[in-house]
Amino acid sequence: MSYLDNVSVFVRVIELGTLSAAGRDQRVTPAVASNRIKELERHLGVRLFNRTTRKLTPTEHGRVFYKGAIKIIEAVKEAEGTVADLSQNPKGAIRITAPLGIGRRLIAPGIPAFHAMYPDIEVRLRLSDHNVDIVSEGIDIAFKLGVLEDSNLRMRGILNSERVICAAPTYLERRGTPATADALIADKHDCLLLRYPGSKEYFWTLQTADGLRKFEISGPYDSDDGDVLTEWALEGHGIINKPLFEVKGHLNNGTLVEILADSPPAQVQLAAIYPHKRFQDPKVRLMIDFMAERCQRLIGKMLEERPTKPRRQGPR
């Protein structure tokens, strides 16, 4: 086993906290990951972790070595990127993440085509609506709807997306159609929320006559999967706030109805977010360019689709 493989496993154990998680990340078994750590410790002549039955905790030597180890990994990635630029044959693994809805509809279906163009690039895709820590989890690119909050990251905007408030006709017939944004709260409408540990989406930001306002809406249940919210809405269980391209088909066929068109949600940007140094890697540039073009093209087609029946503003 190579020294660099041992260092890579060590870094991921520090960052992910367990041998099993690091092993999955590096595509080896926990036993192999453990052997690589032991080999590294024998080479260095020090103990890198304090071991218990439940977790590994880095020793002082381990914490010091980690600072140098991440520099080794970054230096190798940068060197590989330079060689790939010269050879026009990019190689290696690239880790990307995206929300479930975007990932299933736009990103995942494009991976085979990307790999066909660049067969020496391994793509490791993780889909999650949770807030992923890009740096600590070793992510090269995160495709997401939102704003850049970490100054240590960089962002390339792909497109601005309209959002809509909508619900199924059965819900609106049962509960009535809110005439104003304030009615969401005053009439205690069932709003379906995307929530997970650390989530900030406990409110909806809507355009009103007084400008953008935050509405602290509520509902009987929530989920950390945006597609689950859409399914609940289709079944008549509440109101959702969604990117237009995700629900355009449902609006076109009438299974969902747009409401509060005079108080639309604030637009959100679809963007590629990446650590600053990663853009020096040609794999990252190629993936962002490929997915940006793909997302712009596919979302454009989704939004151009004609409705099978007229869109309406809910029961009057």
pLDDT tens digits for the chain (316 residues)?
Answer: 588 888 888 888 888 878 888 888 888 888 888 888 888 888 888 888 887 766 778 888 888 888 888 888 777 776 766 665 545 678 888 999 998 888 988 999 999 999 999 998 999 999 887 777 787 778 899 998 876 565 668 888 898 888 999 999 999 999 999 999 999 999 999 999 887 655 655 788 898 888 888 888 888 888 888 889 999 999 999 999 999 988 999 999 999 999 999 999 988 889 998 887 655 678 888 999 999 999 999 888 888 765 555 444 444 3
Give the pLDDT confidence score for residue 149 in this predicted structure: 63
Let me know if 287 is exposed, middle or buried by CB neighbors in 10 A (0-12, 13-18, 19+): buried
Give the pLDDT confidence score for residue 253 in this predicted structure: 92
Give the pLDDT confidence score for residue 142 in this predicted structure: 92
Q: Please report which helix (H) or strand (E) contains residue 270, including its range.
A: strand 268-275
**CA–CA separation, 154 vs 150, rounded Å?**
8
Q: What single string gives the DSSP state of each residue in 58-91? A: E-HHHHHHHHHHHHHHHHHHHHHHHHHHHHT---
Q: What single string gives the DSSP state of each residue in 87-152? A: HT---EEEEEEE-HHHIIIIIGGGHHHHHHHSTTEEEEEEE-SS---TTTTT-SEEEEES----TT
pTM over 0.75? The answer is no
Handedness of CA 142, 148, 149, 152 (dihedral sign): positive
**CA–CA separation, 182 vs 180, rounded Å?**
5
Q: What is the DSSP letter of 18?
A: S
Give the pLDDT confidence score for residue 20 in this predicted structure: 83
Determine the 3-state secondary structure of 226 from DSSP: helix
Give the pLDDT confidence score for residue 278 in this predicted structure: 59
Residues 259 and 314: beta-carbon distance below 8 Å? yes
* b/e per residue 206-245 (b: at least 16 CB within 10 A): bbeeeeebebebebeebbbbbebbbebbbebbbbbbbbbb
CA distances from 299 to 21, 58, 103, 107 (A): 35, 46, 13, 12
Residues 296 and 158: beta-carbon distance below 8 Å? yes
Ordered by where they begin, the domains of the chain are 1-87 (1.10.10.10), 89-160+268-316 (3.40.190.10), 163-266 (3.40.190.290)
CA distances from 21 to 13, 56, 203 (A): 7, 12, 34
